[in-house]
Chain A
Amino acid sequence: MTTLTKYVRWDTVVTVLLVAVFLAGAGTTDGFADTSNLSAALDDTAEIALIALPMTLLVVAGQVDLSVASMLGLSSALAGALWDAGWTFELIVPVCLLVGAAGGVLNGWLVTRIGLPSLAVTIGTLTLYRGLASVVLGDKAVADFPDAYAKWAAYTRTVPGTFVPYPVALFIVFAVITAVVLHCTGFGRSLFAIGAQEDAAYFAGIRVKRIKIALFAVSGLVASFAGIVYTLRYGSARADNGIGLELTVIASVLLGGVDFDGGKGTLGGAVAGVLLIGLLGNLLTLNDVSNEVQVIVTGLLLIASVLTPRVISAVSERRSTPDQLTPGQLPDQTRLERPSTS
């Protein structure tokens, strides 16, 4: 596509930026590179990071799930209500996960069977799941979860010998699995195919609907799991937990170079995006930079991440002949009409 993007990919840029932020922080700010600070900063991004994994898969496949934060809230509210009702914690977790997966299947069903765009569907379920959360728990806040579990979510308990808190360690394991699935399996390749050209993928024999439903189900499942982590970490189950979190997740994924139009991106980039937003926020807070400025910085980074690759490709396209296409790219005029049966 372009000479420049052949050598420098956006996810590499983000990774370099991440390292730069870390080094700048360690060099300029007292306490930033302390293990206790890094543990806390990492733990603060735990839920965002977890949800970002299935979100990356969805965005690569040209879909998006805006209902994740509401599912997190619903899971939290449900956990609180059941805990209050005297259920065992060990039973609450699988029930919440089931509800999460079911919510995801509903998203997937609406997208594939009714044929609505995922953006519209999940804006609807965003409101629906948050509403259900309020029905389940009302305006109560349930605390007093068992210390034995709460401690696992706190940043003060880390994997021995490291500064990695357990929720983050779990994220690392999941991230490796997701990376392998996305980049080393046929399933992963079919996600790219669906994202690049859904109709082509369909005609190539990929079971587009089934895969989409599975993706949404996993997204709901992970969001409800993140709801449990969130509840334990803050020791407070509430219906309004995690409001607005979906935007941070999507921003992180896009910042990591995953194309919102689908078909392009790497999991490494998405993870770097999550860590960049997390560490940058921590560094700015340590330097008493106001929240407003932080939001502006994140916004500018996001715009840059979406704009830069396009500007580069627009500039180089003007220089190169229009016939040159990189693998995985189809010229726009070949976009097929979506068959009504798919």
Chain B
Amino acid sequence: MKSLVANPLARKALAPEARSTGPRIRALAVTAVVCSLALAGCSGTTKNSVKNDDKPAESGQKANPDAPLKKGLKLAFLPKQINNPYEQIVDNAGIAAAKGFGSSGKEVGPSDAKASSQVSYINTLTQQRQNAILIAANDPNAVCGPLKQAMKQNIKVVAYDSDTAKDCRQIFINQASSEQIGRTQIQHIAEQLHYKGQIAILSATQNATNQNTWISYMKDELKKPAYKNMKLVKVAYGDDDDQKSFQETQGLLKAYPKLKGIISPTTVGIAAAARYISASSYKGKVVVNGLGTPNQMRKYVKDGTVAQFALWDPKKLGKLASYAAAALASGQITGAEGEKFKAGDLGDYTVGKDGEVILGPPTVFDKANIDRFNF
């Protein structure tokens, strides 16, 4: 105990004020809460009472379809996360396309697919005065403020793969119509299962805009009488993480012994699911279908784990996004419905409703055609 008295800290702490401050702080916190509660009674802003004034910033610019494609544009691709293999293919193709028409492109982005991770990147891209930001949004709203800020500085915004809220970008490049993707996923697996049995979905993150839209169309498709003997038992989330998706697959098969099929509409998920099933007793008994890349899925198609899966060509998606961004930055289009632009050898595209440009229908890959694709 001798050393205790020698400790000046302990001695100082013996001062009377030291003991009374604890409760005082607590009292302060309580008072603060009570005060704000009282304040809350005075006025009220509810969901129904606010009218948010977020009309899209009309640029007032007119599209000039004959304007030449500008050279030396700076395009920046901002994927959901930097190590997503699928988005790397899209971005690299977009960057290559930009080089082809005399501009430059780069890919930057966060290493995780969190809702807010992209925000600081948008701010820095605005600061770097890029001509266009091409984004695959992790959350349609979280990226909105900074994107609007970018558009105010005359930076063009193109969403691809996963859309932002409509007024936060000029163009959305959709790989295929969401409805088409969602419904064909169910149609394909139903044919494989002869229209009966339990199925599950292995998705990416809980809030991925594109995934959730597809899943809602899948659920809608399942309501049709043709699928009365099929049942969706669970939507699992692998967070576009290989290991998590692998574990979720394992979990699904344990939890639902009668499970007949898994739809994984994400390239990371379907590969992980196929990997698990190929090495387990479920091989040949549980059908895996969904969206994947030929290179990742080749060996599972060849060993019989997976009979078929679908995807669009991500290289074409990147290319189309690049051309759309350049067309915007050159003043050929503004993002209004009905405007047309030329996307190199992909041909002519027309801007649809809400600034949406659709790449085309998905391709189904199977044993017969998979060797013709390398991506």
Contacts and interface: CB of A to CB of B under 8 A. Distances in A.
A286 B124 CA distance: 6
Contact of B9 (A36, A189, A331): A189
Contacts of B121: 285
Given A206-B18, A210-B23, A291 B123 contact: no
A192 B106 CA distance: 50
A169 to B, nearest CB: 18
Contact of B44 (A90, A143, A205): A90
Given A186-B21, A235-B144, A291-B82, A90 B45 contact: yes
A147 B52 contact: yes
A159 interface: no
Given A204-B14, A205-B14, A295-B111, A214 B46 contact: no
B145 A207 contact: no
B36 interface: yes
A88 interface: yes
Given A207-B19, A218-B25, A235-B144, A240 B50 contact: no
Contacts, number: 225
A286 B128 CA distance: 7
B368 interface: no
A200 B7 contact: yes
Contacts of B7: 193, 196-197, 200, 327-328, 330
Nearest to B239: A240
A190 B128 contact: no
Interface string B186-227: 000000000000000000011100001000000000000000
B124 A291 contact: no
A156 B13 contact: no
Interface residues of B, number: 72
Interface stretch (B112-120, B258-266, B318-326): B112-120
Contacts of A286: 124, 127-128
Contact of B22 (A144, A148, A207, A263): A207
A193 B10 contact: yes
B128 A31 contact: yes
Interface size on A, as a range, is 35 or more
Interface of B: 1, 3-4, 7-19, 21-26, 29, 32-33, 36-37, 39-40, 42-48, 50, 52-54, 82, 106, 108-112, 114-116, 119-121, 123-124, 127-129, 139-142, 144-146, 149, 165, 205-207, 212, 237
27 contacts: A40-B127, A44-B123, A98-B33, A141-B140, A143-B141, A147-B53, A154-B145, A185-B21, A192-B9, A197-B10, A204-B4, A204-B10, A206-B18, A207-B19, A234-B141, A235-B145, A236-B115, A238-B207, A239-B206, A281-B120, A282-B124, A286-B127, A288-B106, A290-B108, A327-B7, A327-B9, A330-B3
Given A94-B36, A98-B33, A187-B17, 17 more contacts: A30-B128, A44-B119, A90-B44, A93-B40, A141-B139, A148-B45, A154-B145, A186-B13, A186-B15, A186-B16, A186-B17, A214-B29, A234-B141, A242-B116, A286-B127, A291-B110, A292-B82
Interchain residue pairs A-B with the least CB separation, the first 3: A187-B21, A186-B18, A88-B44
